[in-house]
Amino acid sequence: MIGGRTYNLYPRSFYDCSSLTFCLSKALTLHLILDRINNLVILETLMPVSELVLLRDNSHRLFWCLKSIKIEINHMKSFVTLSFFCIIILVSCGGPSKENKSLTIKGSDTVLPIAQKTAEQFMKASAGASITVVGGGSGTGITALMDGNTDIAMSSRDLKSEEVLKLKTKGINHQSAIIGVDALAVIVHKENKVEKLTREQLEGIFTGVIKNWSELGGDNMEIVCYSRENSSGTYEFFKEHVMDKKNYSATVLNMPATGAIVQSVSQTKGAIGYIGMAYITPEVKTIQVSYDGGKQFFAPNFENAMNKSYPISRPLFYIYKENPSASLKAYLDFCVSPEGQKIVKEIGFLPVQ
């Protein structure tokens, strides 16, 4: 109810549904009806999933806490704008049961496309299964696993030693599953004349030592570096394996998501960035990379990644607590099955088998 009025944003054909409530304050609520089967799709339609934080209470109810203070809802041609300091979404999941089939996956934006597609296919094949997928970065997913706010942490890097220690301190024994392999592509504006870069040159660019494309055989143009935020596993991997663990320059622009890097590089002539191979689009140009001082250069494509000649590749992880529930184990088994790995390949990543 808002101002004494109820907004029902659902078609009359939705009979099998769950309840969604926006608690705007103690007195104001907006009640929606959601199709139980299409729960994941509708949640992503309602708002950017990167803006959500998942909490779970002792009554097996899911609480989504929206970080932004204003959202727009466009659902079934109905439109509502809400401006409040805090919005909490309550998804009714019924009472406690012996086997809760609802799963939450949170973390790496690189792994996000795999989780979204495999979750979609798994839910179609598994009656009663409900999977919610949220991005935000590898570090965000790992923290959520520590806090009990997700069933699976998606990560584009392995756990750090301090993260393993924190998990043990909280009494959490974890397991990891490699669900795919990614080649990390370096991208520039498609009109950039530079075609090849060595690892040392990439290090110089992102540490701020090399500042102009003319130093690399390109036009006299300032280099504009785009990176992921420090909560991203891709940020950590690039720093460790490409920059030789050196710090990023203070001039590097940190972006909240991989798609934002692609868009920024496509619109900025002097730009350079790095993305997962599955995110490559015709709007940007990929750079051939050498890890032997310029003797051999390799492009970030599927063939080079498969034969391991392309030097910047990494495994993609699902991290979860040991002794998983039956529903979690069934989903994990699906992801590494031939059908699940076919999805991984179709998206643009390398299968693990």
Domains, the chain, with CATH or none: 1-96 (no CATH), 183-313 (3.40.190.10)
pTM of the model: 0.65
CA–CA distances in Å: residue 103 to residues 128, 273, 291: 11, 33, 41
Q: Which residues of 135-160 are buried (b: 16+ CB within 10 A; e: fewer)?
A: bbbbbbbbbbbbeebbbbbbbbbbbe
Q: State the Rg of the chain over Cα.
A: 22
pLDDT of residue 306: 87
Closest by CA position to 310, among listed 300, 322, 320: 300
Of 214, 207, 227, 220, the closest CA to residue 272 belongs to: 227
* Structural element, H or E, at residue 81: strand 78-83
Question: Of 167, 184, 172, 36, which is closest to residue 108 (Cα–Cα)?
Answer: 184
Per-residue CA distances from 52 to 31, 55, 83, 134, 184 (Å): 18, 10, 16, 7, 27
Q: How far apart are CA 242 and CA 239, in angstroms?
A: 6
Here the tokens at position 87 are: 């919005």
Report d(CA 186, CA 313) in Å as an integer. 12
- pLDDT tens string, the chain, 353 residues long: the values are 333 333 333 332 322 333 333 333 333 333 333 333 333 333 333 333 333 443 333 333 333 344 332 333 333 333 333 332 333 333 333 333 345 679 999 999 999 999 999 999 999 999 889 999 999 999 999 999 999 999 999 999 999 999 999 999 999 999 999 999 999 999 999 999 999 999 999 999 999 999 999 999 999 999 999 999 998 999 999 999 999 999 999 999 999 999 999 999 999 999 999 999 889 999 999 999 999 999 999 999 989 988 989 999 999 999 999 999 999 999 999 999 999 999 999 998 999 86
The answer to whether the beta carbons of residues 317 and 179 sit under 8 Å apart is yes
8 A C-beta contact, residue 235 and residue 140: no
How far, in Å, CA of 98 to CA of 309, rounded?
Answer: 49
The phi, psi pair for 33, rounded to 5°, reads: -115, 130
Q: Is 29 in a helix, a strand, or coil?
A: strand
pLDDT at 205: 98
End-to-end Cα distance, the chain: 52
Given this model, what pLDDT does residue 101 score?
76
Q: Cβ contacts of residue 287 below 8 Å, gap of 6+?
A: 185, 186, 187, 188, 194, 195, 196, 197, 272
Residue 156, sorted as left (phi over 0), alpha (psi -120 to 50) or beta, turns out to be alpha
